[in-house]
Amino acid sequence: MPPAHPFDDDKLREECGVFGVVGAADAANFVALGLHALQHRGQEAAGIAAYTAESGFQLAHRFGYVRDSFTNPALMRTLPGELSIGHVRYSTAGSKGQTAIRDVQPFFGEFSMGGAAIAHNGNITNAAALRRELIDRGSIFQSSSDTECIVHLMARSLQRDVPERMKDALRRVEGAYSIVAMTRTKLIGVRDPLGVRPLVLGRLDLGDRPGWVLSSETCALDIIGAEFVREVEPGEMVVITAGEGVRSFRPFEPREARFCIFEHVYFSRPDSSLGGRSVYETRAAIGVELAREAPVEADLVCPVPDSGTPAAIGFAQESGIPYGMGIIRNQYVGRTFIEPTEQIRNMGVRLKLNVNRALIRGKRVVLVDDSVVRGTTSRKIKEMILDAGAAEVHFRIASPPTAWPCFYGVDTPRREKLLAATMSEDEMRDHLGVDSLRFITLDGLYRAVGEAGGRDPARPRYCDACFSGDYPVAPSDMIEQGFRPREAAE
């Protein structure tokens, strides 16, 4: 399935969002609302699993937006019960760009002690090796997803119950994962030892007893009126039942956390919180830092909507340059409904964004965006601004140059397709045809997210591999295919 429109094809895309509820009547309805709030994390397909003793496990998988399927009362009646999990996805591992319905999560497995459904955000970096091993031992895979490896590893475990089998399976897994799973009675959440991908715990006030919620982000707790309790810690497993509440386990060797720093820059919604920090406030702080590092004489600071907006506000406040909505986003553009000829594809950015000509004309404009990936969209936006009569165009980017692919659950082009992998900052400026181009430094980004001393190269707090080439978990499958990490490349 292609991107919704050409504009999105030049953005890094978070691959998944997960959500689960236990202890609430018609839990699947809560899950549908939570997935709607997490739609920005995956817009290709969605799925929900639910359980009751009477009907057993019931699963529904659909392509497209949550609102297009999981608001249908007839469909939701097929998902009864007080226990439910769900998932929204883009494709990373698996049939990228041509997803089959069998690749849509949650996945379900029937084990000797009962069934379990599982939904996963992240990427398993040794999935190809695990898959070969499991197939050699007789496993039959139904999907192309790396997540299915976990189901087969659980099936082969000799442990006595599903949580123990999951611990057993995940000890074989490398990479990044935040998992929400369910048995007949339990809601389970797990984060990998580095805590690369987010997962939070919430509590629902249902009167006689609490309901419990697991979610990729805090904004999805808000939509169902759940109270944020805490983040699931890196390397932690929580097992939750309606009657007993939350039990915590530490099944992995402790390691220093390396949370994905790009969650702060782009992936998470600005109304979420990460590590006790407001994402909106962090992005505004990135803009402040960017204005300090890369000042420019200009008349107008303009965000590339919507992800560049908080950073643009911070840049304007720090620089004293007026802020204005020089580019207006059409909120109602979906998939192109007419034949995608080359001419229509070239109009893709204009379908999504339009220039406020009266504001732009004659101005020296600073455009603030979250990232530059291939650069194709940046060039088109620059052309739109110049066509509207701007005197100068300056780009300020709220992340360092994206020079390395991510293997932990983000849809990143091959390294040679990344503009920053083959060009210097000055070469990128000339390629984009702008008057100036500056990125925030990696130290500046660390300062903006709360590390006053910048990035400590010996002990970086975050996963920043897409900027630094420093991979906290070796991308085993990709190295086997010929990828050369930074150390090897140098």
Q: Which of 16, 149, 406, 466 is catalytic?
A: 16
Name the one residue in this structure whose structure tokens are 């998902």.
79
Degrees (nearest 5) of the Cα angle 112, 115, 118? 130
Rounded Cα distance, 291 and 273, in Å: 24
Q: Long-range contacts: 239-244, Cβ < 8 Å, 24+? A: 239/163, 239/186, 239/187, 239/188, 240/22, 240/186, 240/187, 240/188, 240/189, 240/212, 240/214, 241/22, 241/185, 241/186, 241/187, 242/22, 242/23, 242/82, 242/83, 242/185, 242/209, 242/211, 242/212, 243/209
Helix (H) or strand (E) segment spanning residue 282: helix 279-293
Degrees (nearest 5) of the Cα angle 359, 321, 370? 80
Burial of 275: CB neighbours in 10 Å, binned 0-12, 13-18, 19+ = middle
C-alpha distances in angstroms, 376 versus 130, 168, 371, 373, 427?
Answer: 37, 45, 12, 8, 15
CA 314 to chain centre: 23
Q: Which residues pair with 122 in a beta bridge?
A: 177
Ramachandran region of residue 464, left (φ > 0), alpha (ψ -120 to 50) or beta? alpha
- Amino acid symbol at 460: P
CA quadruple 242, 247, 251, 253: dihedral positive or negative?
A: positive
Side-chain half-sphere exposure of 328, counting CA atoms within 13 A: 9
Rounded Cα distance, 183 and 165, in Å: 12
- Amino acid symbol at 243: G
- Note if 302 is an active site residue: no
273: nearest Cα among 228, 315, 313, 312: 228
Tokens standing for residue 379: 């060039």
> Catalytic residues, which ones?
16
